Chain A
Amino acid sequence: KNQVEQSPQSLIILEGKNCTLQCNYTVSPFSNLRWYKQDTGRGPVSLTIMTFSENTKSNGRYTATLDADTKQSSLHITASQLSDSASYICVVSPFGDTGRRALTFGSGTRLQVQP
């Protein structure tokens, strides 16, 4: 079972609408949680990074929240644009970043914004 589960797997919304993507994780203890955006055919690009002590982080129209007690994170996209169409990936880093444990990636949510 993957230690980082994302939902929904895919989502279609109309341009201008808001949406929220979910991430549940079991990685414990963890150091930080990141959200990446991956455009088709491109490498992932970091949107936000939060430590376990933070519960919200914004980057423009993207706002990530974190509840370390329930091990849940969400990514909220406001006033969606066509360019938001991409995969959004939740990534959890184990505590200590000792170098011997790799980041754990979720399988991503594919978002399609339609005009």
Chain B
Amino acid sequence: NAGVMQNPRHLVRRRGQEARLRCSPMKGHSHVYWYRQLPEEGLKFMVYLQKENIIDESGMPKERFSAEFPKEGPSILRIQQVVRGDSAAYFCASSPQTHYGYTFGSGTRLTVV
């Protein structure tokens, strides 16, 4: 039973490019959460999704960031026109029920050059 799979592990983008981060939840988990962690800081909530629905996006920046969790396939966190300040580790977690039994992925480290 594979854990939460995130890819890529490392992503380098030039300023102005788009970044796509993927998260495949654990088998049987229909709840997905995205968090951002800046260097030397704690995890910050971004968005909570269930299949085909955004439940809570209160932590998402209003511009350039979007997330989806389609009926088939992984959840995608998309960052358009990246800037240096977007450089961070992005973690995905999944759970079988709301906020219960969280399991985190190993994260995607985005570097904007």
In the complex, chain A residues 9-41 whose Cβ is within 8 Å of any chain B Cβ? 34, 36, 41
* Set of chain A residues within 8 Å of B107, measured between Cβ atoms: 41-43
In the complex, chain B residues 18-60 whose Cβ is within 8 Å of any chain A Cβ? 33, 35, 41-45, 48, 55-56, 58-59
Asked if A81 lies at the interface with its beta carbon under 8 angstroms from chain B, I say: no
**Bound-state Cα–Cα, A94 to B109, Å:** 29
Interface contact tally, CB-CB below 8 A: 55
Main secondary structure of the interface of B (DSSP, over half): strand
Main secondary structure of the interface of A (DSSP, over half): loop
Q: Are B48 and A43 in contact (CB under 8 A)?
A: no
* Distance between B25 CB and nearest chain A CB, rounded to angstroms: 13
3 closest A-B pairs (Cβ-Cβ)? Answer: A43-B104, A107-B42, A102-B45
User: Which A residues form the contact surface with B (CB < 8 A)?
Assistant: 34, 36, 41-46, 89, 93, 97-103, 105-108
User: Which B residues form the contact surface with A (CB < 8 A)?
Assistant: 4, 33, 35, 41-45, 48, 55-56, 58-59, 91, 93, 97-100, 102-107, 109
